[in-house]
Amino acid sequence: MSNQAPVRVVVVGNGMVGYKFCEKLVAKSKGDNRFHITVFGEEPRPAYDRVHLSAYFSGASVEDLTLAPAAWYSDNNIKLLTGECVVKIDRAAQTIATHSGLVVPYDTLVMATGSAAFVPPVPGVEKDGVFVYRTIEDLDAMMSYAKTATKAVVIGGGLLGLEAAKATLDLGLETHVVEFASRLMPRQLDAAGAAMLKRKIENLGISIHLNKNTTHFTGNDAVTGLHFADESLLPTDMVVISAGIKPRDELAKEAGLATGPRGGIVVNDSLQTSDARIFAIGECALHNGMIYGLVAPGYDMADVVATNLVTANAPPFFRGFDMSTKLKLIGVDVASFGDPFCEKTEHDTILVEDKLKGVYKRLNVSPDGKHLLGGVLVGEAEGYNMLLQTVKNKIVLPPNPEDLILPARTGESAGSGMVLPDEACICSCENISKGDICAAIETQNLTDVAGVKRCTKAGTGCGGCVPMLNDLLTETFKKQGKVVRKVLCEHFNYTRQELFHLVKLAGHTTYNEVLKANGTGCGCEVCKPVVASILASIHNEIIAKQPVIQDTNDRFLANIQRGGTYSVVPRVPGGEITPDQLIRLGEVAKQYGLYCKITGGQRVDLFGAQVHQLPPIWEALLEVGFESGHAYGKALRTVKSCVGNTWCRFGVQDSVTFAVEIENRYKGFRAPHKLKGGVSGCTRECAEAQSKDFGIIATDKGWNLYVCGNGGTKPKHAVLLAADLDKETCVKYIDRFLMFYTRTAEPLQRTAPWFEKLEGGIHYLREVIIDDSLGICADLERDMQHIVHTYQDEWRTVVENPELRAQFRHFVNAEASDPSLEFVEMRGQKRPADW
Amino acid sequence: MNIHSLNWLKAAPVSAFPENGGACVMLNGQQIAIFNFALTNKWYATDNECPHKHEMALARGMIGDTAGEPKVACPFHKKTFSLETGLNLQGESYCIRTYPVKVEDGVVYVAV
């Protein structure tokens, strides 16, 4: 093809779609130097990401938003002229002329002029303080004006308007949104979904005014308010207009190209205008009476034109575009897919509305219940990708389609990407199919999402399909029979179990030693706490001596809470507490103004302590015999007990004494995750031992030992390991069990999920723990004995060691406490103020 | 920016900052997190406030690197930020400010 005549391509407009066209044409014509591309952009800088414009207010720079630097254009032999405005097209001569007098000939002309903000002709719109939300220059002007303003009104409650409202909120302004229609996002959401969105946005402090028709802006030179048709007035310091877009078709119109009555350059399915040498793509193009105001269809149009220029065979067509969209608006997930309203289609709806959580979901299902037609998601849009694919690929719905939008009943995800046909479009921004992605994973041996993004470009646009990419990776591995080895992170190519053994064998005692011997790089927030936990499980040294590798709570031996204060939980073994200890808890709470709550583990939690108050608080608690409760650690928490046969008329054994003994035995023991125990004095099971990592229930012959239960996200009953044990044997089995789990579990894996993945289940576990089939029981017991013998109360160690104690301060250059802390009163106690 | 025109403020002695970890200083009424990245023998300074939930906590976060890029993870929700550029490394739109740091005669200085 390279011997063909050169083609001069001129692109008018260097926005997102104009850039994408260049990118596609360069990629498709690689090695073929026919195309001489010249791009004109009227803005002073190369194309940038307009979709994420509001990031500019939260600190992103122009460079962060730029799609490709000027060098990219020159590297690909594209002549980029920014700040150069095309003012005339001479179709007869096939040239364009710019405002500076440049005349450039073309063989093919691509109009990617985009759109401008639609500014309604409201009297007073020219006043100072009235802005549109479109370009980086608009944003700069808004930011500088906002310095003297306290209140902003955004006109327009659609997608862009809410984006703009987020921007003014980020600027610290009291923000109001004014919408002409009776609901927010009228093009994407139904009334109930829009009402839910309104509630959520109002909760964030943005006022919403619906059914408001602005008749004029008040003020002399600068705007002071909006006057509405209902005679009401909304005072303000500035106004941002985001009421829609107006296609930039003036140049085309002047050149005599066909344009729509309400704007837009008329194009056919090949995106050709009424002049076959001129194409229009993006928001300036009017296709089948539609202007597409989203970036994905614009990218699709760019692809169609680029492909048509490069190949004459089987040219693709633009057939309209699904306007499904998912986005995070001011932190609220909103999605609309397929036909969200089904106003003209026969359908049945499935509705889920949870006003408490602020979630609204609607599915439109065909009357026979077989196919999904579309829907709306507000407040939670996790299922969006799967639902969209279900619509697009006409996948037959399961018998209970409501499961698609209800929380999963069995804890499994609602559906996996593998049920989709190969031609299903996964990434609609880049138009990449499932088949393309799976093939790339297989042939190029991709192992992570970053690799998939690099090789296929899927997931590089809006990023909405990334969870789906993850699914496809896992599923493709499974199909290939690949064992997915769960290595810690990029710094350690070992599983936790492997690293545990390496550390134990080598006797490493610090993170840096472990990293040097077994890892690469500088470590991260994933591997540091894992190594810290392994070191603690093996050596049981004071963790405060290596504070910088400890996870959030372990670093200050307390639980960090909203606002950055900490909560304090002293150990109350078996739930047994003396009156003096109770009094001291009250005294300490009063002295430091702490919020008090009884925990689920038979202890008292004191909230609201500042970091420098922790050592003196503990000093006072240690005096009456309290010890650290390790509520902050992935460690033994509590051993809950019922009152047992010392008081209870039904009890058959002394559950409290046993619980106290067990809790004192394992206190301070750090494991892959937190550990909880329980001891019940009879079969009534008042200590709920069967919901614990290890639970003991008294029988008239001894004790039954249950393991691997937990509450939490996925409640799981513990399984009987052995029955009618004497105390000594029971403790021996717990020693072995806890150590075996600690050696072999994944990071942050509790005993229940660990057990679920244990091949051979309870039979295997019995063989290892009771029959010693692996011959490791003596070793496991010795390791646990070491933990029991080396226990020291870490809070006593810190309080008595001036060097360790000195770590507990907010500022290292001032005595002050964190001045940003704020509390409000609630039911006679305090809690952190909302941000 | 001309490096000589920076307004250097004294933060604290080197010993106030744990190796491979951070600590918070108050400078001109502003909370600044300073990190002693001993593994590479570098120092970094950023806002102490995490822009995600506006918690004053970054100095208490773990530091490390990803693909050679030094980073800090907020202790609250493990949002990670580049210590070089301040960008969020999980691709979210918020980011933090970074400040020049220097060490002279055992004292750490930051240009705020």
In angstroms, the separation between the Cα of residue B81 and the nearest Cα of chain A is 12
Q: What is the structure's pLDDT at A411?
A: 36
Q: What is the structure's pLDDT at A758?
A: 87
Neighbours of A10 (CB within 10 A): 24
Is it the case that residue B1 has pLDDT exceeding 60?
Answer: no
Cβ(A352)–Cβ(A402) below 8 Å: yes
Give the nearest partner residue to A811 out of B25, B39, B54, using CB atoms: B25
Structure token pair of residue A496: 């936790």
Is it the case that residue B62 has pLDDT exceeding 50?
Answer: yes
Mean pLDDT of A237-255: 92
Cβ(A48)–Cβ(A62) below 8 Å: yes
Structure token pair of residue A692: 């614990």
Q: Which stretch of A52-56, A566-570, A584-588, A662-666 has the lowest confidence by average pLDDT?
A: A52-56
Q: A228, exposed or middle or buried, with CB in 10 Å at 0-12, 13-18, 19+?
A: middle
Q: What is the structure's pLDDT at A296?
A: 83
Structure token pair of residue A479: 């199909």
Residue pointed to by tokens 């001479």: A90
Q: In what order do the strands lie in the sheet with B69-73?
A: B62-66, B69-73, B80-82
In angstroms, the separation between the Cα of residue A459 and the nearest Cα of chain B is 12
Q: Which residue of A has its CA nearest to B25?
A: A811
B51 with A820: Cβ contact below 8 A: no
The residues near A778 (Cβ < 8 Å, ≥ 6 apart) are none
Percent of chain A with pLDDT over 70: 97
Residue A542 to residue A260: CA distance in whole angstroms: 75
CA distances from A501 to A496, A504, A534, A673, B1 (A): 9, 5, 9, 18, 51
Q: What is the structure's pLDDT at A443?
A: 87
Give the tens place of pLDDT for each residue, A483-517. 667 789 999 999 999 999 999 999 999 999 999 99
CA distances from A153 to A164, A232, A240 (A): 10, 14, 6
Residue A604 parent element (H or E): strand A604-609
**Number of Cα atoms under 13 Å in the Cβ half of residue A564:** 25
Quick one: pLDDT band at residue B3, thresholds 50, 70, 90? low
Is it the case that residue A414 has pLDDT exceeding 60?
Answer: no
Give the nearest partner residue to B21 out of A55, A463, A548, using CB atoms: A548
Residue B54 to residue A565: CA distance in whole angstroms: 14
In chain B, residues with a C-beta closer than 8 Å to the C-beta of A549 are 20, 62
Q: Which stretch of A175-179, A186-190, A698-702 has the lowest confidence by average pLDDT?
A: A186-190
Is it the case that residue B2 has pLDDT exceeding 60?
Answer: no
Mean pLDDT of A269-281: 95
In chain A, residues with a C-beta closer than 8 Å to the C-beta of B77 are none
Cα distance from N-terminal residue to C-terminal residue, chain A? 62
In chain A, residues with a C-beta closer than 8 Å to the C-beta of B12 are 812-813
Q: Which stretch of A544-558, A820-834, B48-62 has the lowest confidence by average pLDDT?
A: A820-834
B94 with A55: Cβ contact below 8 A: yes
The A-side interface with B (CB below 8 A) comprises: 52, 54-55, 58-60, 64, 463, 490-491, 512, 521-525, 527-529, 547-549, 551-552, 555-556, 560, 562-564, 807, 810-814, 816, 818, 820, 835
User: Which of B15, B27, B60 should one mutate to test binding to chain A, selecting the residue with the greatest count of A CBs within 10 A?
Assistant: B60
Q: Which residue of A has its CA nearest to B68?
A: A521
Give the nearest partner residue to A813 out of B12, B21, B51, using CB atoms: B12
**Number of Cα atoms under 13 Å in the Cβ half of residue B84:** 7
Position with higher pLDDT, B91 vs A91:
A91
Angle at A543 between CA A542 and CA A545, to 5 degrees: 80
Query: By C-alpha distance, which of A577, A540, A607, A448 is closest to A786?
Result: A540
Q: What is the structure's pLDDT at A2?
A: 46
Pairing assessment for the beta strands B8-13 and B107-111 based on DSSP bridges: antiparallel
Structure token pair of residue A285: 């193009």
Quick one: pLDDT band at residue A95, thresholds 50, 70, 90? very high
In chain B, residues with a C-beta closer than 8 Å to the C-beta of A55 are 93-94
Average pLDDT over chain A, rounded to whole? 90
Q: What is the structure's pLDDT at A470?
A: 80
Backbone Cα Rg of chain A:
33
Q: Which stretch of A21-30, A404-413, A672-681, B44-53 has the lowest confidence by average pLDDT?
A: A404-413
In chain B, residues with a C-beta closer than 8 Å to the C-beta of A521 are 64-65, 68
In chain B, residues with a C-beta closer than 8 Å to the C-beta of A490 are 66-67
In chain B, residues with a C-beta closer than 8 Å to the C-beta of A522 are 20, 37, 39-40, 63-65, 70
Q: Give residue limits of the domains in chain A.
A: 7-115+247-310, 119-243, 559-789
Cα distance from N-terminal residue to C-terminal residue, chain B? 13
Give the nearest partner residue to A522 out of B25, B61, B65, using CB atoms: B65
Q: Which residue of B has its CA nearest to A52?
A: B93
A7-115+247-310 and A119-243 agree in CATH topology = yes
Residue pointed to by tokens 């229009």: A280
Residue A402 to residue A712: CA distance in whole angstroms: 25
Mean pLDDT of A370-376: 91
Residue A20 to residue A11: CA distance in whole angstroms: 11
Quick one: pLDDT band at residue B4, thresholds 50, 70, 90? low
Q: Which residue of B has its CA nearest to A462?
A: B91
Structure token pair of residue A426: 């996964």
Residue A281 to residue A100: CA distance in whole angstroms: 25
- Give the residues across from B42 on adjacent strands: B37
Residue A120 to residue A81: CA distance in whole angstroms: 32
Query: By C-alpha distance, which of A393, A332, A390 is closest to A364?
Result: A390
CA distances from A176 to A152, A155, A194, A243 (A): 6, 9, 16, 14
**Strands of A460-601, DSSP E:** 559-560, 566-568, 595-598
Residue A776 to residue A799: CA distance in whole angstroms: 38
Query: By C-alpha distance, which of A138, A137, A123 is closest to A223?
Result: A123
Is it the case that residue A55 has pLDDT exceeding 80?
Answer: no
User: Which of A66, A454, A552, A820 should one mutate to test binding to chain B, selecting the residue with the greatest count of B CBs within 10 A?
Assistant: A552
Q: What is the structure's pLDDT at A413?
A: 39
- Give the residues across from A82 on adjacent strands: A41
Hey, what domains does chain B have and what are their CATH numbers?
A: 18-111 (2.102.10.10)
Quick one: pLDDT band at residue A151, thresholds 50, 70, 90? very high
The residues near A477 (Cβ < 8 Å, ≥ 6 apart) are A484
Average pLDDT over chain B, rounded to whole? 92
CA distances from A824 to A560, A589, A609 (A): 18, 16, 15
In chain A, residues with a C-beta closer than 8 Å to the C-beta of B89 are none
Give the tens place of pLDDT for each residue, A342-366. 888 889 999 888 888 889 999 999 9
Q: What is the structure's pLDDT at A585?
A: 97
Residue A355 to residue A195: CA distance in whole angstroms: 10
Structure token pair of residue A319: 């057939």
Give the nearest partner residue to A525 out of B16, B24, B62, using CB atoms: B62
User: Which of B9, B10, B20 should one mutate to test binding to chain A, selecting the residue with the greatest count of A CBs within 10 A?
Assistant: B20
Is it the case that residue A431 has pLDDT exceeding 70?
Answer: yes
In chain B, residues with a C-beta closer than 8 Å to the C-beta of A465 are none
B67 with A548: Cβ contact below 8 A: no
CA distances from B43 to B47, B83, B108 (A): 14, 9, 9
Quick one: pLDDT band at residue A316, thresholds 50, 70, 90? confident
Mean pLDDT of A534-563: 94
CATH class of A559-789: alpha beta
- The CATH number that domain A119-243 falls under is 3.50.50.60
If DSSP states are collapsed to H, E and C, what string results for A313-329?
CCCCCCCCCCCCEEEEE
Is it the case that residue A111 has pLDDT exceeding 50?
Answer: yes
B60 with A555: Cβ contact below 8 A: yes
User: Which of A520, A809, A812 should one mutate to test binding to chain B, selecting the residue with the greatest count of B CBs within 10 A?
Assistant: A812
In chain B, residues with a C-beta closer than 8 Å to the C-beta of A461 are none
B70 with A810: Cβ contact below 8 A: no
Buried b (16+ CB within 10 A) or exposed e, A182-198: ebbbeebbbeebbbbbb
Give the tens place of pLDDT for each residue, A771-818. 999 999 999 999 999 999 999 999 999 999 999 999 999 999 988 788
If DSSP states are collapsed to H, E and C, what string results for A206-275?
CEEECCCCEEEEECCCECCEEEECCCCEEECCEEEECCCEEECCHHHHHCCCCECCCCCEEECCCCECCC
Position with higher pLDDT, A821 vs A565:
A565
A to B CB pairs, distance under 8 Å: 113
Position with higher pLDDT, A577 vs A3:
A577
Structure token pair of residue A656: 């409290």
Is it the case that residue A254 has pLDDT exceeding 90?
Answer: yes
A820 with B31: Cβ contact below 8 A: yes
Neighbours of A600 (CB within 10 A): 13
User: Which of B93, B95, B96, B108 should one mutate to test binding to chain A, selecting the residue with the greatest count of A CBs within 10 A?
Assistant: B93
Q: B93, exposed or middle or buried, with CB in 10 Å at 0-12, 13-18, 19+?
A: buried
Mean pLDDT of A218-243: 93
A548 with B62: Cβ contact below 8 A: yes
The residues near A779 (Cβ < 8 Å, ≥ 6 apart) are none
Quick one: pLDDT band at residue A417, thresholds 50, 70, 90? low
User: Which of A61, A525, A614 should one mutate to test binding to chain B, selecting the residue with the greatest count of B CBs within 10 A?
Assistant: A525
In chain A, residues with a C-beta closer than 8 Å to the C-beta of B71 are 524
Residue pointed to by tokens 């005014």: A209
In chain B, residues with a C-beta closer than 8 Å to the C-beta of A463 are 91
CA distances from B10 to A603, A627, B7, B58 (A): 45, 39, 10, 20
Mean pLDDT of A458-478: 79
Mean pLDDT of A30-53: 86
Neighbours of A181 (CB within 10 A): 15
Quick one: pLDDT band at residue A641, thresholds 50, 70, 90? very high
Fold entry, domain A7-115+247-310: FAD/NAD(P)-binding domain (3.50.50)
In chain A, residues with a C-beta closer than 8 Å to the C-beta of B56 are 564, 818, 820
Q: What is the structure's pLDDT at A675?
A: 97
Structure token pair of residue A627: 């010890």
Q: Which residue of A has its CA nearest to B74?
A: A552
In chain A, residues with a C-beta closer than 8 Å to the C-beta of B49 are 820
In angstroms, the separation between the Cα of residue B5 and the nearest Cα of chain A is 23
